[in-house]
Chains A and B, each alone.
Chain A
């Protein structure tokens, strides 16, 4: 199986503080990987580096074998990496449909956007997506009228509209009710059939639901362990960082 994402010896430091420390990581194409770790483990910085928001101090990030160093965020996004933020970030003053349409746009250069119109295939994609995320009936509502869970789903929909090969999802279940969490989980699982996904999550219940493949544990900017969910759960080191010193 080919690797879609490879990270070699990655270090990111802010004024001497190492947010990531000699991290090695790789992801197979088509895999759904869940990353867990206590606060300050460097999970969000990890996504920042992949999407080009933060430049690595040392080491490199390869996406489909291509080094992402010094490539601006928008180009990385066009190469096929989509990112969902921790808090839902949708365009609040646009309607749901307009939100999706904007991301769905095939040619994102200035003049094609200015003179172009949504063509039929794009319209169909948007229509289909509205159904997938279950916001069909609210397509013409402004996004600031949506509930938190609906915004989460809309943002995931916007990710998919971008038609990326790799989805990076940061805490998709944060602030959701149990039912909504399960909906989002099912949505992710169905997306996993056609995309590679890296999901960052705190909620263990949710992790158990979606972690069909491997789970990676980060701690203090470095890789702590990696494996199947039940393996990781019983690893003494993981228990230690989550629950503190184990009594001998």
Chain B
């Protein structure tokens, strides 16, 4: 009997996998092929920005939804990635010239931090590695002392403020409050804001989103993913089972930071500028609400949530700018109190059955799951039916 249920489960898994692959391929075709052909360029740029924000949301879901660490400082990693790429773009100048803003502050020699960003491959590496390392370092210093829960959240928020202050204060190095422009710069000799480059960035964003989604899938599915959930649910128990949670948390936080870095770079080139204001406290908390709206602990929920909230924001702040903050505040309250599992969680636990019953289909489970799914009871039921 055990074997049979095993086979049934395997079949179900295979079917789910097929459905998932199909959906992904369909979405790729829609977003990467059809949309660019249909909608105007500036709207495409907007969607490209949303998709890059969905990438951060995946990173946040990885640490919050699966590992239970609520980071309010992902703006740091987002900005680091954005700055890395922006610095590279700002260096696409004839030999010996400096980016324009340096002359404002009387800087005559390129600061050493800028040197590596002449090279494109190094830049790509840096925009992943630097946020990852910074996240890993912050994570290590916090986690090794078993600071967790809200303390971790507060400390990440404080770290965010610190980076914000630092970037604002360093005019001679990274142009302080004014930030770095990317739209007027060139990449491979072409203007960044030109339609062709923007479309290329859009497609890169779609591909990155898919790849990062698959990475997160892989991370959360196997033993590693189960351990993350175990850490979320009962960290002390994990420790007494012989695992050191610190290493796992540091790694997953670093990965999440690196993901945010990639997202930040893609967001920056599709926005046209990066300034320290990207590290405002509000923006980083907003990232969390995208995940919460979609449903934490489900990767697809993070993506859906981001798209929905950003769309609502674009619409509301275009037509009723005053209402947006009220709406956003209400969204935080409602999601937390009424929809703790987000849209996807609500759908899988309630909405699916509800819509089935509305269509007149038999509900699949009529009683407590423990009774219906209990194999012993099922067997008993079958023997009774045979008699």
Contacts and interface: CB of A to CB of B under 8 A. Distances in A.
A74 B239 CA distance: 5
A33 interface: no
A116 B248 contact: no
Given A110-B251, A117-B222, A136-B2, A102 B369 contact: no
Interface string B210-237: 0000000001001110110110011011
Given A82-B240, A102-B241, 13 more contacts: A72-B244, A73-B239, A77-B240, A83-B240, A89-B237, A94-B226, A108-B242, A114-B222, A116-B223, A118-B223, A137-B374, A140-B9, A162-B242
B375 A162 contact: no
Interface in A150-168: 158, 162
Interface residues of B, number: 33
Given A91-B229, A113-B224, A145 B2 contact: no
15 contacts: A73-B239, A74-B240, A74-B243, A74-B244, A74-B245, A75-B244, A83-B240, A91-B226, A102-B227, A108-B244, A110-B247, A137-B1, A137-B2, A138-B374, A141-B374
B245 to A, nearest CB: 8
Which of B5, B9, B239 has most A Cβ within 10 Å? B239
B348 interface: no
A92 B233 CA distance: 8
A116 B224 CA distance: 9
Contact of B241 (A137, A141, A158): A158
B318 interface: no
Given A93-B233, A102-B230, A145 B373 contact: yes
B376 interface: yes
Contacts, number: 93
B370 interface: yes
Given A83-B240, A108-B243, A158-B241, A140 B5 contact: yes
Contact of B234 (A72, A89, A98, A101): A89
A209 B103 CA distance: 86
B130 to A, nearest CB: 21
Contacts of A108: 241-244
B229 A93 contact: yes
Contacts of B6: 140
Given A110-B247, A110-B248, A145-B370, A94 B242 contact: no
B366 to A, nearest CB: 16
B230 A105 contact: no
A139 B224 CA distance: 20
Contacts of A208: none
Contacts of A109: 247
A223 B276 CA distance: 63
Interface string A127-142: 0000000001111110
Interface in B365-385: 369-370, 373-376
Interface string B11-54: 00000000000000000000000000000000000000000000
A77 B239 contact: yes
A85 interface: yes
Contacts of B236: 53, 89
A51 interface: yes
A103 interface: yes
Nearest to B241: A103
A138 B376 CA distance: 8
Contacts of B369: 145
A91 B222 contact: no
A78 interface: yes
A83 B223 CA distance: 22
